[in-house]
Amino acid sequence: MKLYYTPGACSLAPHIVLEELGLPHSLEQVDLKTRKTASGEDYLQINSKGYIPALRTQDGTVLTEGIVISQFLADLKPEARLMPTAGMGRYQLQSLLVYISTEIHKPMGSMFNPNMADVTRESTQALLSKRLDWIVAELGDNTYLQGDDFTVADAYLFTVLGWASLVKFDLAPWPALQAYCGRVASRPAVQAAMKAEGLI
C-alpha cells in the first residue's frame, strides 16, 4: 500500500493508523502547491480532488478521504481494535469521526488562511471552543475517546489538535486535551509516523 501525504497534514491520521497496525506501506509526499508527488507524478491523476490523503490499496484501488482510509485500514486488522467491527460501538465511533471532521477539522483548518478577517477568526475560535468543550466532556476521565482503547478517532483528533499552535489557537483552557495529546504523542506508532514525516 502507498499513502500519499503532506507532513503534519490530515494525512498524518491514517499514517498513524498504518503504524499502529504494523501494515507494510510506502509513503509518497505531495506538494499541494504544485500538485506533484515526490517522484514527479501529477497528483491530480491519482486523486482528482487535489488534496491529501490518498491510499493506493493492495489491488491498486485509490481511496480518498482520511476517515474512510482509516476505517478501511482498521478493518484489515480487526484484532488491533482500532475500530469496532460491528454494532452500536462502530456507529458511535463513526459519529465521532464525522464530528472531528466537520466540527473541529474544518474550523481549525480554516484558520490557516492568512487573509481571514479578524471578525471571522474570532467567531471561528468561539465556535471551535464550544466544540472542544464537548470533546472534553466526552473524554471525561478516559485515557482515549472511547475508553482505554486507542482508536482511529484518536489518531484523527490528535492530528487536528496538533495544528493549534500553527494557527495560534491556545489549548491552555483545556488542560485535559493537552494531557490527552501528550498520551497520544507518547505512543510508539505515533512517534514513528511523526518521525517519518520529519515532524520530530
Grid cell locating 23? 501494515
pLDDT in tens, 26-55: 999 999 999 999 999 999 999 999 999 999
Give the C-alpha distances (Å, rounded to integers) separating 32 from 29, 53, 69, 86, 195.
Answer: 9, 11, 19, 36, 20
pTM: 0.96
Give the C-alpha distances (Å, rounded to integers) separating 200 from 40, 108, 192.
Answer: 26, 22, 9
What interhelical angle do 88-99 and 66-76 show, nearest 10? 150
Name all domains of the chain by residue range, CATH numbers in brackets. 2-80+189-196 (3.40.30.10), 88-187 (1.20.1050.10)
Grid cell locating 45? 491523476
Residue 177: per-residue pLDDT: 97
pLDDT > 90 fraction of the chain, expressed in percent and rounded: 100
pLDDT in tens, 9-27: 999 999 999 999 999 999 9
- Eight-class DSSP state of 80: G
Residue 75: per-residue pLDDT: 97
Mind spelling out the 3-state secondary structure of 144-175?
ECCECCCCHHHHHHHHHHCCCCCCCCCCCCCH
Q: pLDDT confidence of 158, banded at 50, 70, 90?
A: very high
Closest CA to 13 of 59, 72, 85: 72
Cα gap 111→131, rounded to integer Å: 15
State the chain's mean pLDDT as an integer.
97
Q: Could you tell me whether strands 62-64 and 26-31 are parallel, antiparallel, or unpaired per DSSP bridges?
A: unpaired
Residues 6 or more apart in contact with residue 31 via CB below 8 angstroms: 6, 37, 38
pLDDT in tens, 119-153: 999 999 999 999 999 999 999 999 999 999 999 99
Average pLDDT, stretch 58-62?
Answer: 96
